[in-house]
């Protein structure tokens, strides 16, 4: 399986652009993360979501989707808030079980939104 979006949370707490995150179907582990300049090239069997992919641990979610208040108006503030929310995870890592969420309804030029940000699970292979 492959997942892609506009951005993703790196292990150093910054946002990577145009990632393709590959997950092994049989084990559920993340096997590769590739960043691209400009946009993601067309690849078959790749799920694309508009927004930012983050580890599921960021929100310790119990449901498949929920909303949160907008918490920043710039990239640095957004990354700081995401890192603050992390329990034990520090970004998306190769070799980890795939538990990925996407933050939707966000303007990636200003890192703001008009109302609330929607957070949705795209894969949970934790169990």
Q: CA neighbours within 13 Å on the CB side: how many for 114?
A: 1
* Rama region for 60: left / alpha / beta (φ>0; ψ in -120 to 50; rest): left
Residue 112 is predicted with a pLDDT of 57
Residue 64 is predicted with a pLDDT of 60
Supply 63's token pair: 């449901």
Architecture of domain 2-124: Roll (2.30)
| Chain segment 3-14, per-residue pLDDT in tens | 999 888 888 878
Residue-level length of the chain: 127
| Chain segment 31-50, per-residue pLDDT in tens | 999 999 877 777 788 988 88
For the chain, which residues score pLDDT lower than 70? 58-90, 105-117, 126-127
Residues 11, 57 contacting (CB under 8 angstroms): no
Domain ranges of the chain: 2-124
Which helix (H) or strand (E) element contains residue 5?
strand 2-9
Residue 23 is predicted with a pLDDT of 93
**CB burial of residue 12 (10 Å; 0-12, 13-18, 19+):** exposed
């Amino acid at each position: 399986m492959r997942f892609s979006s506009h951005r993703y949370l790196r292990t150093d707490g910054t946002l990577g652009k145009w990632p393709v995150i590959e997950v092994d179907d049989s084990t559920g582990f993340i096997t590769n993360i590739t960043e691209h300049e400009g946009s993601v090239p067309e690849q078959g069997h790749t799920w694309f979501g508009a927004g930012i992919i983050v580890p599921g641990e960021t929100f310790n979610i119990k449901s498949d989707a929920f909303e949160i208040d907008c918490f920043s108006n710039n990239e640095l503030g957004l990354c700081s808030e995401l890192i603050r929310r992390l329990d034990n995870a520090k970004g998306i890592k190769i070799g980890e079980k795939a538990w990925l969420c996407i933050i939707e309804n966000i303007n990636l030029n200003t890192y703001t939104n008009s109302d609330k940000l929607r957070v949705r699970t795209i894969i949970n292979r934790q169990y």
